[in-house]
A and B are shown apart, each in its own frame.
Chain A
Amino acid sequence: MAILEISELTHFFGGLRAVYDLNMTLEGGELMGLIGPNGAGKTTVFNLVSGFYRPSEGDVKFRGKSIVGLRPHQVTALGMARTFQNIRLWNSLTVFDNLCVSQHHLLGYGFLNSVLRTRKFHESERKVRKTAEEIIDLLGIRHYALELPKNLPYGLQRRVEIGRALCLRPKLLMLDEPAAGMNPGEVDQLIKLIRWIRDEFKLTIWLIEHHMRVVMNVCERMKVIDFGEEIAEGTPSEIQQNRRVIQAYLGEEEPLHAHGS
C-alpha cells in the first residue's frame, strides 16, 4: 500500500518556482531516494511534506489522508519523522532528553499533571523513558546519553538525530542529507545503519543525498529533480545511465572528439 502520495505538488517563493508539478508515490517499506543538484528543491519538498510550508498547489496524502494545511507537529503525530540537513538537535538538553522530548505528542498529560505529579504523569514518563532507552541501546549511544549533543562528534550527532526521529515511532522516516559532512568511515557506518533501521523498525525511508556511495548503496528507487521538476525516476543503475541526470549534474556533454584534438 502506498504510504505517501504526492500529486501535482507545486510551490512558489514569491516569483520563484521552487517545486513544480511533482508526482510521486512511496510504497510501504521502501528505501526511496530524492536526488538532484544543489538548489533543485529537494529540501523544499521535504519541508512541504512535513508541513513546514503550505504548498501553493497540489496535494500530499500520508497513509491515505490529506495532510495539506496541518501544522508540522500534527503531521508528525500521524507517523512522519525527519532529520535536518544542518543538524538541529536541542543543544541544552542532554541526548537522553532530546530523545524524550521528541515524544511530546505521545505524552498524554498536560500542565496540571506535570505539576501535581499524578499517576498518569509517572506512567507516561516511564513509557517515554523506556522508549528513549531502547533507542539509545539500539543505536549504541548509551555511553553518551547524558552528554550535551553539541559536545559530540559530528557523526554521533547525526546518529542522535536519527535516534530522535525514531523515538517518534514513525511509519515514514525522512533523512535530509544524512551523510553531509561525514568522513568515509562514518559514511560506511551510516549506510549499514540506514539499512538496519529499515529492517529493524519496518518503516519506509526517504532520503535526500548527494553522496553517491550512500545513494547507490542504500536506495532501491530514486527520483531525480532539477529546478523543482522531475527529470528521472528509476533504480540506481538506471539513473546512473540516464542522460538527463548526467546533464543536470555535469552540464551539457561536450562532444570532445568534435574538437579534433
Chain B
Amino acid sequence: MRRNIPILGYAILCVLGVVLAKADVLDLYMQIILMFIGINVILSTSLNLVNGYMGEFSVGHAGFMAVGAYITSVLNILLFTNSSVFGPPVLSPSSALILFPLTLLAGGVGAALAGLLVAVPSFRTRGDYLAIITLAVNYIVKSSIENMQVIGGARGFMGMSNVINSMKEVVDLPWTLIWVFISAGLTVVILQKFVSSTYGKGIIALRDDEIAAEIMSVNTQRMKVVAFMLSSGLAGIAGGLFAHVLGYINPGTFTIMKSTEVLVMVYLGGMGSLSGSVLSAIGLTIVLEAFRPLQVYKWVIVPLLLILLMLFRPEGIMGHRELTDVFPRLRQLLGLKPKLSE
C-alpha cells in the first residue's frame, strides 16, 4: 500500500514531535510554533475549499473559528473544571482526556451550522456580494460574542489551560500538540479525499460554470451547503484548538485581520491546491516568527515579500497544481494509478 506512505510518514513525524516535546528537546516556544503551524494548516486548507476549489470569495473565516473556539471552550470549562462562571465540573475532570476530541468536534459542528449563514445566501448571490455577506457574518459572530456577558463578553474567556492540565494529570503528554497534529492531518486527508472524488469535483464544476453544473445534473445548492459547512466546520475545530493552545480567547482575536491572515496563506499557496496551502501555512508561520526580532519592521518586510511574490508568481506558490503534478515521479513512488485504463 504505497498510497499510504504520506500518511505513514506524517504519523512518524508526529510521534517524533511528541516524543521530542515530552523529552523537552522541543521547548514550549517551539511547541507553540508547531501548534500554530498545524492550526494554520487547517485554516488555510479549509478556506481553500471555498475560495480556491469553489471559487467564492469568503473573507469571514475567523468568524467560524470564533464559533468553534467558544463552543469548545465553554463546553470544556462547563464539563471539566471548577470555574467561577459555571461552578463545579459536571463530569470528573479526568474524563476530559477521552471527551476532549468530542468537545472539539462539537465546536466544529457548531461552526458548520454557522456556515449555513453564508451557504443559504450563496444560492442567490455570488462573487463580491457574497464576499460582503461573509464579512457581515464575521462581524455578527464577533459582536454577538462581545455582547454575551456569560462568556466574558469583550473581556474574553479563559481557564482552558485547566482542562489541558487535568488531561496531563491522567497521562502526562503534550495533549494540545497531539490533537493539533491529529486534526491537521485529518483535515488534509478529508479535504483531499473529498475534492478528488467525482462527488467533490462537482464543486470545481460549479466554479467553472455554475449554470452548466446545475443543468448537467449537479445539485449546486447541496454542493454549496456541503462546501461551506465543511469549510466552516474545520475552521471551528481550528478555533477550538487555538483556544486551548493559548488558554485564553477574546472576540478581538477573531476579526477581519485574522481572516485576512488566512486569506493570505491561501493565495500565497495557490488557489485550488491543498499542498500549496499546507506549504504556505508552514512557511508563512515560520517567516512571521523568524522576523519577530525585527519588531515593527516585520510588518513592512513581510507584506513587501508578499507583493514581490504576487508580482512574479501571481498564481501563488503552487497555483492549481499539487505536489504530485510538480514532481511526477512522486506519483510513481506513491503508486498512483493512471487515470485511464489503456
Instruction: Using CB atoms, name the residue of chain B closest to A124.
Output: B198
Chain A residues near B230: list those with CB within 8 A: 111
Interface contact A88-B202, CB-CB below 8 Å: no
Asked whether A50 is an interface residue with its Cβ less than 8 Å from the other chain, the reply is yes
A52 vs B214: C-alpha distance in the bound complex, in angstroms? 9
Interface residues of A in 83-135 (CB under 8 A from B): 84, 88-94, 96-98, 100-107, 109-111, 113-117, 121, 125, 128, 133
Chain A residue at smallest Cβ distance from B195: A114
Complex CA distance for A113 and B226, rounded to whole angstroms:
13
Of the listed stretches B86-94, B129-137, B216-224, B245-253, chain A binds B216-224
Residue from B190, B201, B215, B339 within 8 A of A101 (CB atoms): B201
Q: Is A81 an interface residue (CB 8 A)?
A: yes
Bound: A105/B219 CA distance, A: 8
Contacts of B216 in A (CB 8 A): 76, 81, 101-102, 104, 164-165, 168
Known contacts A91-B208, A111-B230; A73 and B198 CB within 8 A of each other: no
Contacts of A94 in B (CB 8 A): 339
Report B176-224 residues with CB < 8 Å from chain A CB. Answer: 190, 193-194, 197-202, 204-205, 207-209, 211-221
Contacting residues, chain A, for B204 (C-beta < 8 A): 90, 92-93, 101
Whether A142 is near chain B, meaning CB under 8 Å from some CB there, is yes
Secondary structure dominating the interface of B: helix
Task: Assess whether A52 is in contact with B193, with CB atoms less than 8 Å apart.
Answer: no
**A163 → chain B, closest Cβ, in Å?**
12
Q: Whole-angstrom distance from the CB of A172 to the nearest CB of chain B? A: 13
Alpha-carbon gap, A125 to B200, bound state (A): 12
Check A111 against B199 for contact (C-beta < 8 Å). yes
**Residues of B38-93 whose CB lies within 8 A of A:** none
Is the CB of B326 closer than 8 A to any CB of chain A?
no
| Cβ-defined contact, A96 with B339, below 8 A | yes
Q: Give Cα A145 to B212, complex, Å.
A: 20
Per the bound structure, the CA–CA distance linking A102 and B198 in Å amounts to 9
- Whether B214 pairs with A100 at a CB distance below 8 angstroms is no
Q: Chain B interface: which size bin?
A: 20 to 34
Residue on B nearest A91 in the bound complex, by CB: B208
Known: A93-B201, A115-B190, A146-B340. A105 touches B207 (CB 8 A): no
* Nearest B-chain residue to A77, judged by Cβ: B217
Please name all residues of chain A whose beta carbon is closer than 8 Å to the beta carbon of B194 when the two chains form the complex: 111, 114-115
Task: Pick from A51, A114, A133: contact of B200, CB below 8 A.
Answer: A114
Q: Please judge, given known A-B contacts A90-B213, A93-B201, whether A73 and B193 are in contact too, CB under 8 Å.
A: no
Asked if A125 and B340 make an inter-chain contact with CB atoms under 8 angstroms apart, the answer reads: no
- Docked CA distance A33–B287 (Å): 64
Contact of B215 among A52, A97, A117 (CB under 8 A): A52
Are A145 and B211 in contact (CB-based, < 8 A)? no
Give A51-95 interface residues, CB cut-off 8 Å to B.
Answer: 51-52, 71-73, 76-77, 81-82, 84, 88-94
- Inter-subunit contact A121/B197 (CB<8 Å): yes
Binding site for A on B (CB under 8 A): 190, 193-194, 197-202, 204-205, 207-209, 211-221, 226, 230, 272, 320, 339-341
9 nearest A-B residue pairs (beta carbon): A114-B197, A88-B212, A90-B208, A105-B217, A76-B217, A102-B216, A90-B205, A72-B215, A104-B218
